[in-house]
């Protein structure tokens, strides 16, 4: 059997082949088990519409399950000279089943085959990201509750401004992640639509049952218009990349705060010793390398939507090989973000907070607004109270009352962590990961 699904009787120049294949073989390993799942659904549908016999389907499904197990165990390889994962799977089936293996491609193109692979891969990776986001969310909320009454300075323009608290600081990043989940959910909804059956972008003369493959693969619905299904290549990756970039932006910002607050000039928090590194010349150093790398890698991830946009933004309708370049940036992005989220969760759980920050008189002035508000509440016009406190500070007469009583929703004394948790958990539940897992397991066990 030719090692290229399109090969006939003309050999491709080796230099041209090396250039056009690029890193496809390595990158396609990400897609191997998803290619098998898509093929299982497709051939089940082919038997349903009369293009395969039942005995052929049973033999193909048994072999595909074996190939899936190889991919799950990390033993699946794309052989030298084989162009991509689709060719490798078909080659393995043909070696084992002869001509029956050659029948699995009826009614589809490599275009809709890679589209469904990418959709299945992406929705699975979104699930992993969502799980990591929820784990970090819970760690942040736990620390918010643990240190809810410990005050710290709040800043504007990097100037000491007003009282804040570690309850607010940890809780703010938890709520940011809850919002990030909303964008991830939207990306998941767009991802979880079936492009299989669009073939090369113009459908097929076979009477394909696209509703059946949609159901078998656990998709919410299909990409109905076959031309749009092909136009979704690149667009879907870009939409998902924006969701990943939103999460990365939250984590990068938190990492910057942690690096700054861990420095001796602030000394607001202490990172666990095992999460810091030393200096080759300065024996006292405990560097926050992990958070610095999290910040850098998350900042790289925030560039991902622009990378994808620049590859695809001037392409007309239809498939172009340019789109292959997106895989190189997109496929590894999930593991990169998961690593950052895991590391952030590990450190956040172990951060220790300085509970005596306000013993330092440099922070006394941050209670000025509290005093202004106290005077205004007692009847003094706000602008007069503001002037009086300002003059007292300049004259060195200001004595802060460090007792803070904020009661409104979302303030120091009323964090609303329970409501934020309800929002995040409701968003996570809407993904419906269990339904997808049930469909995939049923397909694998048929």
- Is residue 140 included in any domain, yes or no? yes
* DSSP letter string, 334-388: HHHHHHHHHHHHHHHHH-EE-TTGGGSGGGGGGGHHHHHHHHHHTT--HHHHHHH
291-to-59, 264, 297, 428 alpha-carbon distances in Å: 51, 16, 10, 26
- Is residue 153 included in any domain, yes or no? no
pLDDT in tens, 149-201: 999 999 999 999 999 999 999 999 999 999 999 999 999 999 999 999 999 99
Predicted confidence pLDDT, tens digits, the chain (446 residues): 445 554 555 566 677 666 666 677 889 999 999 999 999 999 999 999 999 999 999 999 999 999 999 999 999 999 988 989 999 999 999 999 999 999 999 999 999 999 999 999 999 999 999 999 999 999 999 999 999 999 999 999 999 999 999 999 999 999 999 999 999 999 999 999 999 999 999 999 999 999 999 999 999 999 999 999 999 999 999 999 999 999 999 999 999 999 999 999 999 999 988 888 887 898 888 899 999 999 999 999 999 999 999 999 889 998 888 999 999 999 999 999 999 999 999 999 999 999 999 999 999 999 999 999 999 999 999 999 999 999 999 999 999 999 999 999 999 999 999 999 999 999 999 999 999 999 999 999 96
- Do 95 and 193 lie in one domain? The reply is no
- Is residue 160 included in any domain, yes or no? no
- Do 141 and 217 lie in one domain? The reply is yes
CA dist., res. 68 & res. 83, Å (int): 19
- Do 218 and 345 lie in one domain? The reply is yes
Read off the CATH number of the domain in which 46 is found: 1.10.275.10
CA dist., res. 196 & res. 224, Å (int): 10
- Is residue 80 included in any domain, yes or no? yes
Q: How many CB atoms lie within 10 A of CB 321?
A: 8
- Do 102 and 123 lie in one domain? The reply is no
- What is the reported pLDDT for 20? 66
- Is residue 8 included in any domain, yes or no? no
CA dist., res. 256 & res. 253, Å (int): 5
Please return the burial class of 163, using the count of CB atoms within 10 Å of its CB with bins 0-12, 13-18 and 19+. Answer: buried
- Do 91 and 34 lie in one domain? The reply is yes
Give 41's Cβ-side CA count (13 Å radius): 30
- Do 141 and 266 lie in one domain? The reply is yes
Please answer whether residues 304 and 246 qualify as being in contact, where contact means their C-beta atoms are separated by less than 8 angstroms.
Answer: no
Read off the CATH number of the domain in which 327 is found: 1.20.200.10
- Do 80 and 204 lie in one domain? The reply is no
CA dist., res. 443 & res. 45, Å (int): 12
- The pTM score is 0.93
- Is residue 378 included in any domain, yes or no? no
Please answer whether residues 301 and 309 qualify as being in contact, where contact means their C-beta atoms are separated by less than 8 angstroms.
Answer: no
- Do 68 and 130 lie in one domain? The reply is no
CA dist., res. 109 & res. 198, Å (int): 8
Task: Specify the number of domains making up the chain.
Answer: 2
- Strand 269-270 and strand 352-353: pairing? antiparallel
Structure token pair of residue 15: 């230099």
* DSSP letter string, 52-75: S-HHHHHHHHHHHHHHHHHHHTT-
CA dist., res. 28 & res. 38, Å (int): 14
End position of a domain, from candidates 89, 106, 123: 106
**What residue numbers bound the domain in which 69 lies?**
14-106
- Do 181 and 257 lie in one domain? The reply is yes
Please answer whether residues 226 and 199 qualify as being in contact, where contact means their C-beta atoms are separated by less than 8 angstroms.
Answer: yes
- Do 240 and 132 lie in one domain? The reply is yes
End position of a domain, from candidates 91, 106, 121: 106
User: Which phi and psi (to 5°) does residue 224 adopt?
Assistant: -70, -60
Please answer whether residues 323 and 291 qualify as being in contact, where contact means their C-beta atoms are separated by less than 8 angstroms.
Answer: no
- Do 187 and 286 lie in one domain? The reply is yes
Please return the burial class of 75, using the count of CB atoms within 10 Å of its CB with bins 0-12, 13-18 and 19+. Answer: exposed
**Helix, strand, or coil here: 194?**
strand
CA dist., res. 7 & res. 362, Å (int): 75
Structure token pair of residue 190: 């767009």
Q: Which of 98, 72, 95 is nearest to 82 (CA)?
A: 95
User: Which phi and psi (to 5°) does residue 436 adopt?
Assistant: -65, -45
Give 169's Cβ-side CA count (13 Å radius): 26
Q: How many CB atoms lie within 10 A of CB 99?
A: 8
CA dist., res. 446 & res. 175, Å (int): 42
- Is residue 383 included in any domain, yes or no? no
**Helix, strand, or coil here: 270?**
strand
- Is residue 391 included in any domain, yes or no? no
Tokens 């990306």 correspond to 187
pLDDT in tens, 391-423: 999 999 999 999 999 999 999 999 999 999 999
- Do 88 and 207 lie in one domain? The reply is no
């Amino acid at each position: 059997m030719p090692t290229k699904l399109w090969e006939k009787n003309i050999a491709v120049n080796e230099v041209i082949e090396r250039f056009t294949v690029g890193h496809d073989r390595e990158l396609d390993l990400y897609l191997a088990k998803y290619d098998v799942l898509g093929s299982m659904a497709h051939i089940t549908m082919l038997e349903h519409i009369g293009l395969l016999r039942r005995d052929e389907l049973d033999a193909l499904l048994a072999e595909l399950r074996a190939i899936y197990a190889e991919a799950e165990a990390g033993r699946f390889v794309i052989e030298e000279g084989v162009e991509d994962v689709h060719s490798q799977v078909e080659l393995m089936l043909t070696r084992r089943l002869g001509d029956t293996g050659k029948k699995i491609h009826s009614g589809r193109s490599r275009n809709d085959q890679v589209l469904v692979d990418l959709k299945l891969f992406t929705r699975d990776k979104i699930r992993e990201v969502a799980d990591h986001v929820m784990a970090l969310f819970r760690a942040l909320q736990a620390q918010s509750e643990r240190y809810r009454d410990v005050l710290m300075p709040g800043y504007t323009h990097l100037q000491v401004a007003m009282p804040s608290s570690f309850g607010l600081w940890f809780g703010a990043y938890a709520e940011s992640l809850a919002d990030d989940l909303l964008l991830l959910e939207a990306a998941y909804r767009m991802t979880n639509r079936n492009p299989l059956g669009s073939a090369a972008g113009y459908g097929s003369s076979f009477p394909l049952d696209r509703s059946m493959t949609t159901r078998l693969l656990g998709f919410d619905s299909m990409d109905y218009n076959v031309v749009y299904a092909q136009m979704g290549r690149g667009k879907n990756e870009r939409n998902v990349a924006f969701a990943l970039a939103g999460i990365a932006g939250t984590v990068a910002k938190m990492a910057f705060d942690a690096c700054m607050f861990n420095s001796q000039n602030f000394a607001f928090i202490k990172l666990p010793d095992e999460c810091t590194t030393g200096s080759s010349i300065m024996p006292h150093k405990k560097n926050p390398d992990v958070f610095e790398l999290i910040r850098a890698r998350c900042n790289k991830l925030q560039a991902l939507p622009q990378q994808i946009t620049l590859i695809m933004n001037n392409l007309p309708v239809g498939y172009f090989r340019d789109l292959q370049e997106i895989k190189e940036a997109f496929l590894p992005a999930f593991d990169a973000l998961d690593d950052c989220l895991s590391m952030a969760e590990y450190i956040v759980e172990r951060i220790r907070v300085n509970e005596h920050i306000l013993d330092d008189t440099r922070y006394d002035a941050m209670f000025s607004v509290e005093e202004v508000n106290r005077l205004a509440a007692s009847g003094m016009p706000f602008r007069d109270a503001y002037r009086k406190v300002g003059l007292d500070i300049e004259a060195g007469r200001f004595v802060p009352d460090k007792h803070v009583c904020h009661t409104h929703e979302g303030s120091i004394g009323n964090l609303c962590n329970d409501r934020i948790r309800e929002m995040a958990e409701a968003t996570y539940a809407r993904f419906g990961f269990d339904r997808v897992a049930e469909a995939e397991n049923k397909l694998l066990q048929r």
